[in-house]
Amino acid sequence: MIELRQEEPADLWEVEALYDLCFAPGREALSSYRLRDGVDPVAGLCLVAREDGIVAGAIRYWPVRVGGAEALLLGPVAVHPTHQGEGLGGWLIRESLERARGRGWARVMLVGDAPYYGRFGFARLEAVEMPPPTNPARVLGLALVPGAWDGIAGAVTRAA
């Protein structure tokens, strides 16, 4: 049985190993990582899924600003290859979004595949600019509160 719980400091090396396994080398050179440098993740939203004590999946969130407004940056989310196709990624996303909503966050964004994330309600953010070289078609957002993205435009910057 898979157990889902909040990520703790002791999980760090296992979660990083999962991300290394699931993503291409050089993942930390991506523009989204520059937004995370020197910023702590949003602890209550970072989750780890374990089966028999072994990390099967993980998701993290980071505070950012978009045109001066607070937002969450979702990512990375990863599922161990032995658990892919079981719905674990969707569970991590849905559960963490509910926790974000419950903690009063209004908006979430990510850089990802629209067909995959669209099923969770994410849509392209036309007026939001991620640092280059991000493909603008992959900048997606979800309003956790109706209208939360209305009028929000501009560059994504690190949270202070």
Over residues 96-122, the pLDDT tens digits come to 999 999 999 999 999 999 999 999 999
Residue 50 has pLDDT above 80, yes or no: yes
Query: What is the dotted CATH code of the domain comprising 2-158?
Result: 3.40.630.30
Residue 26 has pLDDT above 70, yes or no: no
Residue 31 has pLDDT above 80, yes or no: no
Average pLDDT over the chain reads 93
% residues pLDDT > 70 (the chain): 95
pLDDT at 28: 64
Mean pLDDT of 10-16: 94
pLDDT at 24: 72
Mean pLDDT of 85-102: 97
CA distances from 132 to 35, 55, 112, 135 (A): 12, 32, 15, 8
Long-range contacts of 131-138 (CB under 8 A, 24+ apart): 131/31, 131/34, 131/35, 131/155, 131/156, 132/31, 133/31, 134/31, 134/32, 135/111, 138/111, 138/112, 138/113, 138/114
